[in-house]
C-alpha cells in the first residue's frame, strides 16, 4: 500500500473508531520555538511540583530524543463535551467537564492501539508508539502542526468545529507520511475573555502559571494547598474550566460527544452539598471507579471540598 492510500485508510479508520479530527505532521522539522518556550516555562518555575515533567524536558522539546526513528506524528482529537455545565452539581461545587465520566486515558489508549493495528496490517515492520497525555511530547504543539487547530490564549488547543473540548492523542511512527498543512491562524484576535475569567490570574496570553492554576492545585498538587491559594478555588473541587467556559469558540461550536463513556455519571451529578461533605472513602472508591478523579485520591478530593467550605 502506498503512503497516500495509507493516509486515507488511517483517516477513515480513526473516524470509525470515534475520533473527530485526524492530521499528519512530519518530525523532520524541529519544534524550536515551542521547545524554547518550554525551557522558559520550566526556568520560571511555572510547572510547580510537576517534577515528572521536568525530568523528561529534553524529550518533550525534541521528539527524536524520545523516539529517534520517528518520521511522522498522526495527531488525533476526540470531543468529550456532553453539555453538562459545571454548575449542575446541586451543592455549589464545580467539576470539570473532562472528569464527568470514564478516564479518557483508558478509552483513548485502547483506540490508539486499534488504529496502530490497522497500520501494522499493511506495514508489519512499522515502529509505532501510542501517546496520550502521559508521554513526554508536546501534544498541543503537534496537533497545531498537524492542522487540527491553534493554541488559544488559555493555552489549550482549539478546533474550529468542537472548540477546545477535545482530548488529544498521537501515534508516532517511523513511516514517512505526507504531512498536512499546519494550522497557521491564531483565531483569538483581540479577545481576552479567558484571561479575564481566570479566578486566580494564572493566565497571561498563551502562558499558564501552574502554581496558581486551580486545575493543578485540585488535581496534581499533593498535601496541603498553599495558603495563598487555598481559599481561591471558587467552588471547583476537581479541575477547572473557567477559562474554557467563557471562550467564544466553545460557546459557538460545541457539539455533544458520541462517546458514551464520557457521559456524566448520575452519581456525581446528583450529589448534594451534604453528600459531598460527608463523602466516605468507600463511596469515593465506588463513585470514581475508572474515573480520572482517582488521580487526586480520596484525601485530595476531601482537601478540595474542605478548602471550599472554609473560605
Distance CA 152, CA 150 (A): 6
245 lies in the binding site for ligand B12 (CB under 6 A): no
Q: Give min distance, CB of 240 to ligand B12, in A.
A: 5
Least distance to ligand SF4 from the beta carbon of 58, Å?
26
Q: How far apart are CA 132 and CA 67, in angstroms?
A: 15
- Least spacing, CB of residue 38 vs ligand B12, in Å: 5
Cβ-in-10-Å burial (0-12, 13-18, 19+) of 197 comes to middle
Q: How far apart are CA 85 and CA 69, in angstroms?
A: 43
Locate 299 and state its grid cell: 484525601
- Which of ligand SF4, ligand B12, none lies near 225, with the C-beta cut-off 5 to 8 A by kind? none
Residue with smaller CB distance to ligand SF4, 119 or 247? 247
Residue 153 touches which of ligand SF4, ligand B12, none (Cβ within 5-8 Å per kind) = ligand SF4
Could you tell me if 290 and 110 are in contact, meaning their C-beta atoms sit under 8 angstroms apart? Answer: no
d(CA 123, CA 252): 41
Closest by CA position to 111, among listed 228, 306, 261, 295: 261
Q: Residues interacting with ligand SF4, by CB under 6 A?
A: 152-154, 188, 191-194, 198-200, 202-203, 208, 213-215, 240, 242-243, 246-249
- Residue 192 interacts, among ligand SF4, ligand B12, none and using kind-specific CB cut-offs from 5 to 8 Å, with ligand SF4
Q: β-strand 236-238 against 94-95: which pairing, if any? A: parallel
DSSP 8-state assignment for residue 201: -
Is residue 118 within the footprint of ligand B12 (CB under 6 A)? no
Is residue 180 annotated as a catalytic residue, yes or no?
no
Least distance (Å) between residue 28 CB and ligand SF4: 30
Residue 247 as a binder of ligand B12 (CB under 6 A): the answer is: no
Among 102, 106, 121, 133, the active-site one is 133
Nearest to 135 by CA among 114, 151, 112: 112
Question: C-alpha angle with apex 302: 299 to 304, nearest 5 degrees?
Answer: 110
Helix (H, G, I), strand (E, B) or coil at 134: coil
Judged by beta carbon, residue 6 or residue 73, the one nearer ligand B12 is 73
Q: Which spans of this chain sit near ligand B12 (rule: CB under 6 A)?
A: 34, 37-38, 41, 50, 53, 96, 98, 132-133, 137-141, 151, 154-157, 164, 166-168, 206-208, 210, 213, 215-216, 220, 239-241, 243
Please give the positions annotated as active site. Answer: 133
Amino acid at each position: 500500500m502506498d503512503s497516500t492510500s495509507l493516509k486515507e485508510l488511517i483517516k477513515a479508520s480513526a473516524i470509525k473508531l470515534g475520533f473527530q479530527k485526524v492530521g499528519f505532521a512530519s518530525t523532520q522539522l524541529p519544534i524550536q520555538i515551542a521547545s524554547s518556550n518550554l525551557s522558559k516555562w520550566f526556568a520560571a518555575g511555572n510547572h510547580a511540583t510537576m517534577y515528572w515533567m521536568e525530568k523528561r524536558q529534553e524529550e518533550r522539546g525534541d521528539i527524536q530524543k524520545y523516539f529517534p526513528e520517528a518520521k511522522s506524528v498522526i495527531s488525533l482529537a476526540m470531543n468529550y463535551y456532553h453539555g453538562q455545565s459545571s454548575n449542575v452539581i446541586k451543592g455549589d461545587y464545580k467539576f470539570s467537564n473532562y472528569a464527568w465520566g470514564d478516564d479518557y486515558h483508558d478509552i483513548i489508549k485502547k483506540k490508539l492501539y486499534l488504529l496502530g493495528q490497522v497500520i501494522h496490517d499493511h506495514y508489519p515492520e512499522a515502529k509505532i508508539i501510542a501517546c496520550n497525555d502521559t508521554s513526554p511530547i508536546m501534544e498541543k504543539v503537534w496537533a497545531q502542526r498537524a492542522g487540527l487547530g491553534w493554541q488559544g490564549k488559555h493555552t489549550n488547543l482549539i478546533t474550529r468545529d468542537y472548540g477546545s473540548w477535545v482530548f488529544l492523542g498521537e501515534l508516532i511512527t517511523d513511516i514517512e507520511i505526507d504531512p498536512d498543512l499546519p494550522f497557521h491562524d491564531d483565531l483569538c484576535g483581540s479577545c481576552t475573555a479567558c484571561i479575564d475569567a481566570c479566578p486566580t490570574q494564572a493566565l497571561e496570553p498563551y502562558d499558564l502559571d501552574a502554581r496558581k492554576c486551580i486545575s493543578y492545585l485540585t488535581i496534581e498538587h499533593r498535601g496541603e494547598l498553599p495558603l495563598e491559594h487555598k481559599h481561591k478555588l471558587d467552588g471547583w473541587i476537581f479541575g477547572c474550566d473557567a477559562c474554557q467556559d467563557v471562550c467564544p469558540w466553545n460557546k459557538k461550536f460545541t457539539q455533544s460527544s458520541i462517546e458514551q463513556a464520557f457521559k456524566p455519571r448520575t452519581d456525581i451529578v446528583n450529589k448534594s452539598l451534604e453528600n459531598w461533605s460527608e463523602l466516605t472513602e468507600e463511596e469515593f472508591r465506588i463513585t470514581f471507579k475508572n474515573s480520572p478523579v482517582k488521580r487526586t485520591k480520596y484525601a485530595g478530593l476531601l482537601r478540595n471540598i474542605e478548602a471550599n467550605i472554609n473560605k
